[in-house]
Amino acid sequence: MNWQTIARTDSALAVKPRSTHLLLGLPVVTILAAAYLYPLLGADPITTARFAGFVDSWLATVIPLTGILLGYDAVVGERESGALLLSLSLPHGRDDFVLGKVLSRVGLLSGAILAAMVVGAGLVVYPFGQLVVVRFCGFVATTVAFGAIWTNLGIAASLSTATKQRASVLAFGLFFLFVMVWDGIASALQFGLNRVGLTDGPLPGPVQFIFDLEPGAVFQRVTAGFLDPGTSVDGPWYLSEWVALVVFVLWLIGPLALTYSRFAGSDLS
């Protein structure tokens, strides 16, 4: 199929630069460092299932950066150079082109995560840890999907703009908003509401729900609710892990689908 050719070609080109190796090394080093430290710092019992709760906050920062950097120039770089029009003149459509790019970039990040998780599981288990296969496999799959969310957001930025500069501003704007300042905004709002006497303690449930729509918060809530036996999710139904799972899936498919629908009908000249 045409998308397979695009995916193979793009993967071969994307993986060549040393910068890509360093970029993919970020989640690898993070997972391996956490797997080494977890048996030393974590509470008994030491298991691969409880490892999920130990490392998820680290991954909620590192994986978004890696995914954004992998995805933001996937399409717009070729659009700027004119290679996109040349590619689309060959016997494949825009859907093949975008699907190939998505599978290529998501595949690179997924491969790095899978390799690191396999080695990390060995570090957790040896010599006194326990392998909990089903929960650990679920965590690996969830982490891969989380990487796909952020890679897709980068590709969505690439699809929705005509220059690399605009794509980078949009992509890194999403990263800065959701990863760097989102929790700070929530804390500032909580402080303000407590200060004026409207609340006393945590944010009201509906407000907390809005802040928990951020991809990293959703990832951590899914991990806590389904995969880490050492934690649980409390609160009303709309803050449950099941609602978080639905939001997680929407993040996975929604932004890319919306931007592709615009890209499919746009003038690329």
The token pair that represents 14 in the structure block: 């994307």
Q: What pLDDT is attached to residue 202?
A: 87
Residue 47 bridge partners (DSSP) = 130
The token pair that represents 232 in the structure block: 């649980």
Q: What pLDDT is attached to residue 118?
A: 97
Low pLDDT (below 70) residues in the chain? 1, 269
Q: Which amino acid is at 234?
A: D
Taking alpha carbons only, the member of 214, 255, 241, 209 closest to residue 138 is 241
Please tell me the pTM assigned to this model.
Answer: 0.95
Q: How many CB atoms lie within 10 A of CB 115?
A: 15
Q: For residues 103 and 37, what is the distance between their CA atoms, to the nearest angstrom?
A: 32
Q: What pLDDT is attached to residue 230?
A: 87
CB 78 within 8 A of CB 97: no
Q: Is 132 left (phi over 0), alpha (psi -120 to 50) or beta?
A: beta
Q: What pLDDT is attached to residue 36?
A: 95
Q: For residues 170 and 159, what is the distance between their CA atoms, to the nearest angstrom?
A: 11
CB 114 within 8 A of CB 160: no
- Count of CA atoms in the C-beta half-sphere (13 A) of 177: 10
Q: What pLDDT is attached to residue 2?
A: 80
Q: What pLDDT is attached to residue 235?
A: 85
Residue 130 bridge partners (DSSP) = 47
Q: What pLDDT is attached to residue 146?
A: 98
